[in-house]
Every structure is written in structure tokens, then in C-alpha cells.
């Protein structure tokens, strides 16, 4: 087993995410992180940490494989083809659930939400997707 993660392995992983053949589950709602690292577990057993800057996908902080290999920001930055990697805004939303600079979006339908506490209190759901309160008898 090699100690390092190859550039080819990293690209295969990122392209799998972009294509949807590898899915991600965030540890916390990315929009609730707003500014900081969003930690994901991938369907292939890998992990990825993405820096979310004001709800904009900024850069990869680290990637860890299921077999214990890893690469951090400095290692990724040293690889010319990966130094400036950033998915399209559509991929950032559809795969990483990061909605775009200073945006909040409904996690069910993608509708833009008004920024602020209301969005988070409703679980990042728009009025149409928020479950109606049922009166208690």
C-alpha cells in the first residue's frame, strides 16, 4: 500500500463526486457551517473536508481514503492541476450542498431563502417545504 494519495486517485474521486457516482453526506448542514470546514463522508468510504467561505465552495482542506492515506491543503496546493480546483456552482450545490456566495437555499427544492436566523430555524426549508404544524388536541 502506498503512503501517498496520487493525483490520479484524487481526480478520480473528484470526478466521481461531480458525476454523482460517489455521493457525499455532510457531518453538519453545510449552510449552518457558513464559514469553516464542512466534513463529508463519501459513499466509497473516503472523507473530504471543504472550506465553505460565506456559503461559497472555496477549497479542499483535506482528503482521507478508507485505507488511511491522506492529503492536506499544502499537498493539494502543490499539485498544479489541483491547486485551483473548484467545482461549478451547480456541482457545489447539487453534490456538496453549498449554495453560493452569501446565499441560502431550501435543502428540498433549492429555492433561494432569505438570509438569517429564520432560514436556519426552519432547517433551511422554504415556506412551501416546511411541514405544516398540526394542532394538538
pLDDT category, 131, cuts 50, 70, 90?
confident
Domain span at residue 62 reads: 7-102
Same domain, 92 and 120: no
Q: Given a cut of 50, is residue 137 above it in pLDDT?
A: no
Same domain, 124 and 74: no
What is the reported pLDDT for 99? 94
Which long-range contacts (C-beta less than 8 Å, at least 24 apart) are formed by 14-21? Answer: 14/85, 14/87, 16/44, 17/42, 17/48, 17/87, 17/91, 17/95, 17/96, 18/87, 18/91, 18/95, 20/94, 20/95
pTM above 0.85, yes or no: yes
Same domain, 91 and 107: no
What is the reported pLDDT for 133? 46
Residue 65 lies in a domain: yes
What is the reported pLDDT for 127? 84
Same domain, 81 and 124: no
Better pLDDT: 135 or 103: 103
Kindly state the average pLDDT of the residues 26-49.
96
Amino acid at each position: 500500500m502506498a503512503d501517498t494519495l496520487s493525483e490520479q486517485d484524487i481526480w478520480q474521486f473528484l470526478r466521481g463526486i461531480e458525476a454523482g457516482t460517489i455521493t457525499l453526506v455532510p457531518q453538519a448542514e453545510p449552510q449552518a457551517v457558513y464559514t469553516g470546514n464542512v466534513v463529508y463522508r463519501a459513499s466509497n468510504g473516503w472523507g473530504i473536508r471543504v472550506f465553505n467561505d460565506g456559503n461559497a465552495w472555496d477549497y479542499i482542506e483535506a482528503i482521507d481514503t478508507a485505507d488511511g492515506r491522506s492529503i492536506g491543503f499544502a499537498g493539494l496546493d502543490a499539485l498544479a492541476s489541483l491547486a485551483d480546483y473548484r467545482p461549478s456552482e451547480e456541482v457545489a450545490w447539487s453534490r456538496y450542498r453549498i449554495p453560493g456566495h452569501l446565499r441560502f437555499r431550501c435543502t428540498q427544492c433549492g429555492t433561494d431563502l432569505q438570509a438569517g436566523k429564520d432560514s436556519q430555524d426552519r432547517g433551511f426549508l422554504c415556506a412551501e417545504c416546511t411541514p405544516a404544524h398540526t394542532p394538538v388536541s
